[in-house]
Structure 1
């Protein structure tokens, strides 16, 4: 059975980022916070439809008493559509597959608008429902009630414009240097802002962290039991211009630890991550001038 992509809002403030509910949450500034691997099922995002599906949600509509005092921002809608397009493309879909049967708002899912009668209608009252969920029925206050169609059209447009998208230069490495990690030298690359990047495999091996590379899903599965994801607000975003990979814990809900970039090099694609971000996520002591990584907590 093909997967389904569900689009939500959280009915919270713009900065509400919590794991367990959605695979990714988009904060008010448009930043995508990847919380769970897209290849695992989460239990409770879309009633009766949680299997073989991915849930993306905008953190918004938390205004009291009027939710529209915190509407979806333009940045959120742009990022929601871009992330939906990226997920659909990773599944091998094209623009023609962006249909209500495959990409639905929670309002549409609640009202069984895909023609599958999965549950009683708890969607918008205008569609004969009880009104419990009307996520993205409208994209702005007093706007058209075809929010789902509007989103799908924007996602389709991203597919059709893929060859002309963002003529920006991908993040570039400007030079090579070495840092100290656990007392030994480690080769790293510097970007234009002076941030250090290292091969994810080099860092994981240096700290004896068990891992496995899942090429089909562009992820590194981490076997450590003493890591707690922090769901960083400054995580790597798609604007870097390279395909992204993620590190996920090997657990039932596969929480995402961090994201990095896949750069095509002479020996194939290599996974790079920011050194300081890696250290912070894995509890490694850091000192600067020069940059040194020490031991892990308790280690």
Structure 2
């Protein structure tokens, strides 16, 4: 199948997170929970349409018995469309490419609205389906059944808007990441060059950290990701993972095997990948001490 982006809701609470189903889950506050690399296929998000596809899902519509007691929030819809636009841009798509053949809601996919008859119609009843899946048929209670069209138009608007210079932090954003000074810190008996941000967190070049701990890796510039060859890493989901609101281009560090779960996210600064030192240590099982902050050996667990 051609590359496709599928837009879902999870029929859950706003805080729900579970790996294995969707590439990214968007919480009620609009925060992105990137769980899997976009370059790999997940097996079960959109029936018979899981190949060469990315699944984005809003954690919402889980009200019982009325789903609309937990509707999609505006923060979720904004984040959903911006993330879909980012994926589209990474594939070389522009605003004119965003049609139902490339970006679909689960309601539309379930009803084969793209003209590809992949399965029986299990979509909305008003489209002749069984009503099993109706994700984003509407964006609001009693709204028009044009949710897919509305979302695609919002994605086109994001793609059509001029982009900020890629290396310029958004100084106007409260969440913007600003670096204050350069420093060094002891790491496995060596001096590691770091940058200290306004919140006091230490950042280092991801390549230097990986080399320091002899962890094999490969950099994929086209996908802005580092593939890590280590077999003894079990990525954890972090509520404080780096968000696009920091104002820098992001990269991901993922495992090379299995479903390529995301280990961590960092930023691209001067065309080099930087990550938070403490987050790197926690994800790779590296012992640390504080006051002063020192990286020790990689012990695991």
Q: What's the TM-score bracket when you normalise by the shorter of the two chains?
A: over 0.9
Where 2:279 maps in the other structure, the secondary structure is: helix
2:169·2:246 contact (CA, 8 Å) conserved in 1? no
Report the RMSD for the aligned CA atoms in angstroms. 1.7
Please give the per-residue CA displacement for 1:198-218, whole angstroms capped at 9, x wherever unaligned.
Answer: 000111111111111111211
Please give the per-residue CA displacement for 1:208-254, whole angstroms capped at 9, x wherever unaligned.
Answer: 11111111211111111111111211111111222111010111210
2:286·2:300 contact (CA, 8 Å) conserved in 1? no
Please give the per-residue CA displacement for 1:158-214, whole angstroms capped at 9, x wherever unaligned.
Answer: 112134799923633221111111122211001111111000011111111111111
| Alignment pair present for 1:66 and 2:66 | yes
- Residue 58 of structure 1 and its aligned partner are, at CA, apart by 0.4
| Alignment pair present for 1:275 and 2:277 | yes
The one of 281, 290, 294 equivalent to 1:292 is 294
Where does residue 124 of structure 1 map in the other structure?
Answer: 124
Equivalent positions of 1:1-299 (< 5 A) are: 2-163=2-163, 168-169=170-171, 171-264=177-270, 269-298=271-300
- Residue 292 of structure 1 and its aligned partner are, at CA, apart by 1.0
For residues 179 and 34 of structure 1, the distance between their equivalents in structure 2, rounded to whole angstroms, comes to 30
2:124·2:133 contact (CA, 8 Å) conserved in 1? yes
TM score, norm. by length of structure 1: 0.95
Where 1:162 maps in the other structure, the secondary structure is: coil
For residues 62 and 181 of structure 1, the distance between their equivalents in structure 2, rounded to whole angstroms, comes to 46
| Structure 1 stretches of 4+ moved >6 Å | 164-167
Paired residues in the alignment total: 295
**Residue 298 and residue 279 in structure 1: after superposition, are their counterparts in 2 closer, same or farther (change >3 A)?**
closer
- Residue 11 of structure 1 and its aligned partner are, at CA, apart by 0.8
Where 1:33 maps in the other structure, the secondary structure is: strand
Q: Which runs of 5+ in 2 are unaligned?
A: none
For residues 103 and 195 of structure 1, the distance between their equivalents in structure 2, rounded to whole angstroms, comes to 38
Please give the per-residue CA displacement for 1:253-280, whole angstroms capped at 9, x wherever unaligned.
Answer: 100000111112xxxx100001111111
Where 1:158 maps in the other structure, the secondary structure is: helix
**Residue 63 and residue 210 in structure 1: after superposition, are their counterparts in 2 closer, same or farther (change >3 A)?**
same
For residues 217 and 160 of structure 1, the distance between their equivalents in structure 2, rounded to whole angstroms, comes to 21
2:8·2:106 contact (CA, 8 Å) conserved in 1? yes
